[in-house]
Structure 1
Amino acid sequence: MTRSVTGRLKEDPKVIVERLVRLADKHDVEFEGDSEKGYAKGKGFHVEYLVVGESCTLTVTKKPLLIPWSLVESQLEKLFND
């Protein structure tokens, strides 16, 4: 089962990707992608992203069994609403 959330980006995608590369390295998470599409996986999660214009869709394709989908979705939505 997968879940997706779409939101408007607050910064240039290139800036966001640069930050994600640093965070992934710091937290031992595999990250592959550019300013248009990619994925991150680690810690039991696999998340894909797709950027179209100023919008980004995040799709969780795998998550730890003990973490409820409601928590995953609320945390993803915070990325666009904070």
Structure 2
Amino acid sequence: MSRSITGTLPESPEVLIGKLEKAAKKHDIHFEGDNSHGFAKGKGFHVKYQITGDQCTLTVTKKPFIVPWGVVEKALDKIF
């Protein structure tokens, strides 16, 4: 089971990807991607993203069993 959210990017994809790369490195998360699509995985989570224009879709494809989907959905809602 997975959960997705789509929203308008607050900044250009280039700026956001740069920030994601830094944050991933800081928190020991594996990140691969570019300005159109990619993924991050670590600490039991797998998240993929797809960017089209100024819209981004985030999809959580895996989460730790102990973390309820409600917590994941609440965190996703805060992003956009």
Aligned counterpart, 1:34: 34
Residue 28 of structure 1: CA displacement? 0.4
- 1:19 maps to 19
Regions of 4+ moved over 4 Å:
none
Once the two structures are TM-superposed, the CA of residue 4 in structure 1 deviates from its matched residue by 0.5
- RMSD in angstroms over aligned alpha carbons? 0.6
The Cα offsets for residues 60-79 of structure 1, whole Å up to 9 and x where unpaired, read as 00000011111101101101
- In structure 2, what is the equivalent of residue 5 of structure 1? 5
Identity %: 56
Residue in 1 aligned with 2:47?
A: 47
TM-score by length of 1: 0.95
Q: Identify the residue that residue 71 of structure 2 maps to in structure 1.
A: 71
Mapped partners of 1:73, 1:36: distance in 2: 23
Q: In the alignment, residue 77 of structure 1 is paired with which amino acid? A: D
AA paired with 1:45? F
Structure 1 gaps, min length 5: none
TM-score, length basis structure 2:
0.97
Deviation at 1:45, TM superposition (A): 0.1
